[in-house]
Amino acid sequence: MIYNNNPDRELVLTNPDNIYGLTSSLFFNWYKAQYHAYTYSPVLAMWTMADQGTSSWLNGGMYDLSSEPREEFNNSEEYDWKLITETYYHRMYANLSQANDVLFALKNGLEIGELNTNGKGEDTELVRAFSSFIQGLTLGYLGLTFDKSFIITENTDDPSVVEASPYNVVIDSAVVSLDKCIEICNNNSFTIPDDWINGSTYSNNELARLASSFAARLMVYGSRNATENEQVDWTKVLNYANNGIQRDLAPYMDNVTWYNHFFHYSVARDNWVRIDARIINMLDPSYPYRYPDLNSEPAPGIATSNDARLLSDFSYDGVCNFKPERGYYHYSNYEYTRYPYSFSNPGNVIDFSIAENELIKAEALFHTLAKNEAIDFINAGTRVTRGSLTLLDYSISDADFLKALFYERDIELIMTGYGIAFFDMRRRDMLQEGTPLHFPIPAEQLNVLDLPIYTFGGAANADGINTSDGGWFPTK
C-alpha cells in the first residue's frame, strides 16, 4: 500500500486538539468521496449501469459503462475517466488512514478533552466511537465498490506488507468496526457536534442506531449475485435493522463546503442524467421498458400510473437532447424532481432514509420466514403512504412479494444513497449481461505495487462472479 503516514505523524498523534480536529472531518471526507464531483466518484456511472438513471454523455464514464452491449471497464492510466475509481480509491484510503491515526492515538493512551478525576478525557469515547464508525463506513464502501481491498486498521503494524482481501472479507471487517462503535455508544454518553454530520447533532444512542443501519446495509448490498444474497445472515441483518435509525440521515448541503454533485448533475442539470425507461415502465406497464428507436418508432408520450409518485416525484419533458448516434436506448423524457436541493438551493440531502431501513427490515423478515410481518411493513410504509397503492394481501406468492418489495426500493430510494440501485440489481442478477459486478483496483495502484493490470466487464467475461451473466429485459 502507498498510504503511509505523514512525517509529522508523531506531532499530530500526541496533540488532543489535533486528534479531535481530525475526527471532526471524517464524515465529511467520506461523504466527499461518494458525491463530490462527477469525475471523482463512480456514483453517476453506477446509476446508469443499473438502468435507473440514463445518459448518453461521456462524463464520469456514464456512456462507456452503460452502452449496449456492455463492454470491459477500461482500467488503465490512459483512460479519460480513470478518476472515477482512482480518486475514489485515494480519497477512501486517505480517510481510512486518518481514522486509523485517531484510533491509534487513543489506543496508545491519549485522552481527549477536559480530564476528570480519574484522568479520563470527556471527549475520548466520543472520538473513539466516531472514528470506529468512519473506519467501518470506509472499509465497507471499499468492499461494496471494488473486488478486493487492503484491510488497514490501527492494529496494522506494517501496511506495506498487507495483501488485498476479497470484498466479503473487507465488508466483514467493516462490520466489526461498526460493532465497536455500537459497543462504545451503548456504554457511554456524548453528543456528536452538529458540524460533524452537517446540520444535525447525534447522541450516543443515535450514533449507535446509525452504525446499526449501516451494518445492515453493508451486509445486504455486498452480495455480488442472487446466490450470495440468499446466503446473507438475514437474522443478523434483522437485528441490525431493528436497532437502526429512527430519522433520516440527511446532512445539510450549504453549497459552500458541503455539496452533492450526484444531485446537481441529475436534477439541476436535467439534460445530463434522466430516469431510465425501465423505471417508468414499472410505474406504467404500458410504457416501453426500453426507449424506442425514433428512426422507426414514435416517442412514447406521457405515462400514467396508479402510483401517486409518478406525479409527485417525476416530471415529463418532451425534449431530450441526448445524442441519437449514441443510441436512442439512452433517451428519456422523465426527470427526477422529488427533492428541491440544487447548487442554487441549499438543503438537506437524504443519504439513508427511514424507508430504506424499513425495507431492509421487511426483506430480512421475509428471509427469516416471517413473511406476514414483512407484508405488514410494506403495507405500513411508503407503498401506501406516498404511493397510494393497494395493500398487499397475505396470500401473495413469494415471487410477487419480492417483486413488490424491489418495486418499492426502485421507486422510493432513488438518489438516497451511493450505489443503491446498482447494488440491488447486482444482488438479483439483473444487471445487463457484461456489466462489471464491481470495479478492479485502479491501474495506478496496481502499477505502484507492481501487480498485473486486470479488469471486468464485457459479454465474453460474463461469469456471474465478476461480470454479470444476468439481465432484466423481459425478453431475456
Position 375 in a domain? no
In a domain, 348, yes or no: no
Per-residue pLDDT of the chain in tens (476 residues, 90 and over written 9): 444 445 466 777 899 999 999 999 999 999 999 998 778 999 999 999 999 999 999 999 999 999 999 999 999 999 999 999 999 999 999 999 999 999 999 999 999 999 999 999 999 999 999 999 999 999 999 999 999 999 999 999 999 999 999 999 999 999 999 999 999 999 999 999 999 999 999 999 999 999 999 999 999 999 999 999 999 999 999 999 999 999 999 999 999 999 999 988 887 777 899 999 999 999 999 999 999 999 999 999 999 999 999 999 999 999 999 999 999 999 999 999 999 998 899 999 999 999 999 999 999 999 999 999 999 999 999 999 999 999 999 999 999 999 999 999 999 999 999 999 999 999 999 999 999 999 999 999 999 999 999 999 999 999 999 999 999 999 64
Q: Tell me if 113 is assigned to some domain.
A: yes
Angle between helix axes 83-107 and 124-145 (nearest 10 degrees) is 150
**Which are the contacts of 45, defined by CB distance < 8 A and separation ≥ 6?**
60, 61, 62, 64, 65, 66, 81, 84
Structural domain contains residue 26: yes
Maximum distance among all Cα pairs of the chain, rounded to whole angstroms: 81
CATH number of the domain to which 159 belongs:
1.25.40.390
Residue 120 lies in a domain: yes
Instruction: Tell me if 425 sits within 8 A of 148, measured CB to CB.
Output: no
d(CA 37, CA 264): 9
| Domain range for 37 | 9-241
The cell numbers describing 461, all together, are 467475461
Domains contained in the chain, number: 1
> Residue 412 falls within a domain, yes or no?
no
Answer yes or no: is 455 within a domain: no
Q: Is residue 398 part of a domain?
A: no
